[in-house]
A and B are shown apart, each in its own frame.
Chain A
Amino acid sequence: QVQLQESGPGLVKPSQTLSLTCSVSGASVSSGSHYWSWVRQPAGKGLEWIGRIYISGSTNYNPSLKSRVTISLDTSNNQFSLKMYSVTAADTAVYYCASNDYYAGWLDPWGQGTLVTVSS
Chain B
Amino acid sequence: DIQMTQSPSSLSASVGDRVTITCRASQSINTYLNWYQQKQGKAPKLLIYAASTLQSGVPSRFSGGGSGTDFTLTISSLQPEDFAIYYCHQSYSTLMYTFGQGTKLEIK
| A-B interaction | yes
Q: Which residues of A are at the interface with B, using a C-beta cutoff of 8 A?
A: 37, 46-49, 52, 60, 62-63, 96, 101, 104-113
Complex contact A63–B96 (CB within 8 A): yes
Determine the chain A residues whose CB is within 8 A of the CB of B32 once the complex forms: 104-105
Interface bits B75-89 vs A (CB < 8 Å: 1, else 0): 000000000000101
Taking the complex as formed, is B50 at the interface, i.e. its CB lies under 8 A from any CB of chain A? yes
Contact check: which of A46, A52, A109 meets B87 at CB < 8 Å?
Answer: A46
Determine the chain B residues whose CB is within 8 A of the CB of A105 once the complex forms: 32, 34, 91-92, 94, 97
Complex contact A107–B46 (CB within 8 A): yes
Determine the chain A residues whose CB is within 8 A of the CB of B87 once the complex forms: 46-47
| Residue on B nearest A110 in the bound complex, by CB | B43
Taking the complex as formed, is B99 at the interface, i.e. its CB lies under 8 A from any CB of chain A? yes
Complex contact A47–B46 (CB within 8 A): no
Taking the complex as formed, is B20 at the interface, i.e. its CB lies under 8 A from any CB of chain A? no
CB proximity of A103 to chain B, nearest CB, Å: 9
Contact check: which of A62, A96, A107 meets B89 at CB < 8 Å?
Answer: A107
Complex contact A107–B34 (CB within 8 A): yes
Determine the chain B residues whose CB is within 8 A of the CB of A112 once the complex forms: 42-43
8 contacts between A and B (CB under 8 A): A47-B99, A62-B96, A104-B49, A104-B91, A106-B50, A107-B34, A108-B55, A110-B44
| Residue on B nearest A37 in the bound complex, by CB | B97
